[in-house]
């Protein structure tokens, strides 16, 4: 949030706004474009657009944790931001100390941005989750303090789908057990209970970006595909949607989970669901660790109800790599699980490919840069999605107002009374629950006008945060 002192700093830089398109602070062009930005615009293709920036991009501090991909680092460096990169996650006390001064943070799945941590984030504008999931962030509290959260819902879908397909074949052929045996010198050439996947039925729970891609791969292997989802989704290929989870479980030889972590999906597969499955079927999970009741799965495998399982995620996961970290102290059933036959265990690597991480770095870094530099919140998971078209280079003396506020009656009337003293070129507002977000471009203003706008908006009762971009 800009202070009155920062407003004063505009006086020397405001007149240079028209020449910023070639500066290091200009938003980089990314292959990842939002739907809104691909819509036709009523502007001449010959016009160049002006890059909006914070007051000084060099003052923007970004912390990247958990070995975020180099593509993201390069994008942020091109903006001229101060970028600090750490390979691992941080303990809570160190994270609290770090988050006090930064404006943006990039994390993956291990860093926990809880309310306790976020209460210390006085300058935090935006959070980037360089992964699909966002359950590691308190989304509601982040919104309450005016911090938008972005993730990467698409970029690692193929990598996860390919891993699951490989595990389906591996479980059907008991490849994990044969590999372990041969590594220890045991030659065990068997065909009993080893199967082709051709002609078998794959049941997919959750037919989103990953589930639908997996559907196509499975059909290429000659499998029949059923899927269950809480919404009606058009099938790809010859896949068929079933109306109940039980129907999918009854008919599938392989069952794989691709759902988010919610109250409804906790222990989605437990003892009753395993009992409903075919004898000798297989279970796979690369979504969230709470989706499968693992103690119940262990009992189903011991009873020969389930012939094998592949797990990539767990209720509790180690905070860093290292020998001995996956143990009974982390999850009480670990020793029992690892002792079972035909169990493939991987350390949350579904999206861990060079291609996926590179694409995620580009997608999330571009989204964060557009939010910092332009106020564009399209794609945010906890925030109203608001966007305004870019300014033309010839639009001088224009300021973009970004006003985040509580969603209560009368706020827009108050704000528009303040802005009505000036020429409002364009304006857009939207709300998401208790949070609302207003963007407006105000033209024909000078430095004293900008300071007056800021001061008046800052005194409004339901303001959460304000940023002014030029």
Active-site annotation, residues: 288, 317, 348
What is the spatial distance between Cα 421 and Cα 460, in angstroms, rounded to a whole number?
A: 16
Identify the CA nearest to 258 among candidates 124, 392, 138, 161.
161
Give dist(CA 296, CA 64) in Å, integer. Answer: 38
Which residues are 205's β-sheet partners?
A: 228, 257
Select from 374, 447, 345 the least CA-distant residue to 8: 447
Inter-axis angle of helices 447-458 and 411-419, nearest 10: 160
Distance CA 37, CA 50 (A): 15
Q: What sections of 131-238 are H helices per DSSP?
A: 139-144, 157-173, 175-183, 209-220
Strand boundaries in 375-462, DSSP class E: 391-392, 399-406, 423-432, 435-443
Q: Which of 235, 204, 211, 229 is nearest to 132 (CA)?
A: 211
The tokens of 157 are what? 């879908």
- Phi then psi for residue 159, to 5 deg, are -60, -45
Of 441, 374, 383, whose CA–CA distance to 407 is shortest?
Answer: 383
With a CB cutoff of 8 Å and minimum separation 6, the contacts of 431 are 384, 407, 437
Confirm if 438 and 375 have CB atoms less than 8 A apart: no
């Amino acid at each position: 949030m800009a202070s009155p002192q920062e407003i004063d700093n505009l006086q020397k830089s405001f007149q240079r706004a028209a020449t910023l398109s070639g500066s290091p602070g200009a938003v980089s062009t990314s292959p990842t474009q939002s739907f809104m930005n691909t819509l036709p615009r009523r502007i001449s293709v010959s016009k160049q657009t002006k890059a909006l920036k914070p007051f000084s991009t060099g003052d923007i501090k970004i912390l990247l944790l958990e070995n975020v991909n180099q593509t993201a680092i390069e994008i942020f460096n091109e903006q001229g931001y101060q970028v600090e990169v750490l390979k691992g996650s941080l303990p809570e006390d160190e994270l609290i100390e770090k988050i006090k001064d930064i404006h943006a943070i990039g994390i993956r799945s291990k860093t926990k941005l809880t309310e306790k941590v976020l209460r210390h984030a006085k300058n935090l504008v935006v959070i980037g989750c360089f992964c699909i999931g966002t359950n590691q962030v308190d989304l509601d509290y982040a919104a309450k303090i005016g911090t938008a959260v972005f993730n990467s819902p698409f970029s690692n879908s193929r990598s996860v789908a390919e891993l699951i397909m490989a595990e389906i074949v591996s479980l059907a052929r008991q490849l994990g057990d044969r590999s372990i045996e041969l590594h220890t010198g045991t030659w065990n050439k068997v065909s009993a209970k080893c199967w082709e996947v051709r002609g078998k039925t794959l049941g997919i729970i959750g037919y989103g970006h990953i589930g639908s891609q997996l559907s196509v791969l499975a059909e290429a292997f000659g499998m029949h595909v059923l899927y269950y989802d809480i919404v009606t989704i058009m099938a790809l290929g010859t896949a068929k949607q079933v109306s109940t989870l039980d129907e999918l479980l009854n008919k599938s030889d392989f069952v794989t989970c691709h759902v988010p972590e919610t109250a409804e999906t906790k222990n989605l597969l437990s003892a009753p669901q395993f009992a409903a499955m075919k004898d000798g079927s297989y279970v796979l999970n690369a979504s969230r660790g709470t989706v499968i009741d693992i103690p119940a799965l262990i009992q189903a495998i011991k009873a020969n109800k389930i012939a094998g399982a592949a797990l990539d995620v767990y209720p509790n996961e180690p905070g860093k790599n290292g020998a001995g970290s996956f143990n009974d102290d982390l999850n009480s059933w670990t020793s029992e699980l690892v002792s079972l036959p035909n169990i493939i265990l991987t350390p949350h690597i579904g999206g861990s490919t060079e291609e996926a991480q590179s694409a995620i770095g580009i997608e999330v870094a571009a989204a964060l840069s557009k939010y910092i530099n332009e106020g564009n919140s399209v794609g945010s998971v906890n925030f109203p999605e608001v966007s305004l078209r870019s300014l033309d280079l010839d639009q001088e003396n224009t300021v973009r107002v970004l006003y985040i506020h509580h969603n209560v009656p009368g706020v827009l009337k108050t704000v528009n009374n303040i802005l009505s003293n000036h020429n409002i070129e364009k304006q857009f507002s939207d709300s998401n629950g208790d949070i609302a977000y207003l963007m407006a471009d105000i033209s024909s203003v000078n430095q004293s006008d900008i300071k007056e706008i800021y001061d008046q908006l800052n005194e409004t009762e339901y303001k959460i945060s304000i940023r002014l971009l030029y």
